[in-house]
A and B are shown apart, each in its own frame.
Chain A
Amino acid sequence: MSVPQPQDGTPILELRGVDKHFGAIQVLHGVDLKVYPGQVTALVGDNGAGKSTLIKSIAGIHPIDGGQLLFEGKPVTVTGPRDSAALGIEVVYQDLALADNLDVVQNMFLGRERTKGILLDEASMEQAARDTLAKLSVRTLKSVRQLVSSLSGGQRQTVAIAKAVLWESKVVILDEPTAALGVAQTRQVLDLVRRLADTGHAVVFISHNMVDVFEVSDRIAALYLGRMAADVPISEVDRTRVVELITTGRSGDLGIEPAAVAEVGA
Chain B
Amino acid sequence: MTSNTVSASTVEPGGAPSGFEADKGPDSVGAAVRGYVDKIRGGDLGALPAVLGIVVLTVLFYALRPETFLTPLNLTNLLVQAAPITLLAMGLVFVLLLGDIDLSAGVVSGVCAAVSAQLLAEQGVSWWVAILAALITGLVIGLVTGTLVGLIGIPSFVVTLALFLGLQGVTLRIIGQGGTVPIREPVIRGLTNEYVPVTGGWILAAVVVLLYAALQLNRWRVQRARGLASAPLGIVIARIAVIAVVTVVITAILSADRALSAAVELKGIPYAIPVVVVLLLVLTFVAGRTTFGRHVYAVGGNSEAARRAGINVTRIRILVFGLSSTMAAVSGLVAAARLSSVTPGSGGGNTLLYAVGAAVIGGTSLFGGRGRVRDAVLGGLVIAIIANGLGLLQVSAYLNFIITGGVLLLAATVDALARRRAAAAPR
Using CB atoms and an 8 Å cutoff, list the residues of chain A in contact with chain B. Answer: 59, 61, 80-82, 85, 91, 93, 96-102, 106, 110-113, 115, 118-120, 122-123, 126-127, 130, 133-146, 149-153, 165, 168-170, 188, 191-192, 195-196, 199-201
Contacts A80-B310, A111-B310, A120-B294 given; does A126 touch B20 at CB 8 Å: no
With a cutoff of 8 Å between Cβ atoms, the chain B residues found around residue A130 in the complex are 20, 23
Q: How far is the CB of A19 from chain B (nearest CB, A)?
A: 22
With a cutoff of 8 Å between Cβ atoms, the chain A residues found around residue B7 in the complex are 135, 195, 199
Is B305 within 8 A of A152, CB to CB?
A: no
Is A97 within 8 A of B305, CB to CB?
A: yes
With a cutoff of 8 Å between Cβ atoms, the chain B residues found around residue A99 in the complex are 297-298, 301-302, 305-306, 369
Contacts A99-B369, A100-B302, A139-B18 given; does A111 touch B4 at CB 8 Å: no
Is A199 within 8 A of B5, CB to CB?
A: yes
With a cutoff of 8 Å between Cβ atoms, the chain B residues found around residue A143 in the complex are 20-23, 229
Extra contacts besides A61-B308, A110-B305, A191-B10 (4): CB < 8 Å? A99-B297, A130-B20, A133-B19, A143-B21
Residue of B nearest to A56 (CB): B308
Using CB atoms and an 8 Å cutoff, list the residues of chain B in contact with chain A. Answer: 1-10, 12, 16-23, 42, 222-223, 226, 228-229, 289-291, 294-295, 297-298, 300-302, 304-311, 369-370, 422, 425, 427
How many cross-chain pairs have Cβ atoms below 8 Å apart between A and B? 146
With a cutoff of 8 Å between Cβ atoms, the chain A residues found around residue B1 in the complex are 168
Interface SS of chain A: loop
What are 27 residue pairs bridging A and B, where the CB atoms are less than 8 Å apart in the complex?
A: A97-B302, A97-B309, A99-B305, A101-B297, A102-B294, A106-B298, A110-B294, A110-B306, A111-B295, A111-B306, A111-B309, A113-B291, A113-B294, A115-B291, A120-B291, A120-B294, A122-B228, A123-B222, A123-B228, A127-B226, A133-B20, A134-B8, A135-B5, A140-B17, A142-B21, A150-B425, A195-B7
Most buried by A among B3, B4, B9: B4
Cα distance A106–B293 in the bound complex, in angstroms: 12
With a cutoff of 8 Å between Cβ atoms, the chain B residues found around residue A196 in the complex are 6
Question: Which of A118, A146, A188 is the one whose CB lies under 8 Å from B10?
Answer: A188
With a cutoff of 8 Å between Cβ atoms, the chain A residues found around residue B425 in the complex are 149-150
Is A135 within 8 A of B6, CB to CB?
A: yes
Cα distance A170–B4 in the bound complex, in angstroms: 7
Is A126 within 8 A of B229, CB to CB?
A: yes
With a cutoff of 8 Å between Cβ atoms, the chain B residues found around residue A97 in the complex are 302, 304-305, 308-309
Is B308 within 8 A of A137, CB to CB?
A: no
Is B369 within 8 A of A101, CB to CB?
A: yes
With a cutoff of 8 Å between Cβ atoms, the chain A residues found around residue B310 in the complex are 80-82, 85, 111-112
Question: Which of A110, A135, A145, A201 is the one whose CB lies under 8 Å from B309?
Answer: A110
Q: How far is the CB of B7 from chain A (nearest CB, A)?
A: 7
Is B19 within 8 A of A145, CB to CB?
A: no
Is B4 within 8 A of A169, CB to CB?
A: yes
Cα distance A134–B2 in the bound complex, in angstroms: 17
Cα distance A98–B304 in the bound complex, in angstroms: 9
Residue of A nearest to B371 (CB): A101
With a cutoff of 8 Å between Cβ atoms, the chain B residues found around residue A123 in the complex are 222-223, 226, 228
Question: Which of A91, A140, A146, A165 is the one whose CB lies under 8 Å from B6?
Answer: A165
With a cutoff of 8 Å between Cβ atoms, the chain B residues found around residue A142 in the complex are 20-23
Question: Which of A91, A126, A139, A146 is the one whose CB lies under 8 Å from B16?
Answer: A139
With a cutoff of 8 Å between Cβ atoms, the chain A residues found around residue B4 in the complex are 168-170, 199-201
Cα distance A40–B300 in the bound complex, in angstroms: 36
Residue of B nearest to A120 (CB): B289
Cα distance A141–B229 in the bound complex, in angstroms: 13
Cα distance A141–B21 in the bound complex, in angstroms: 8
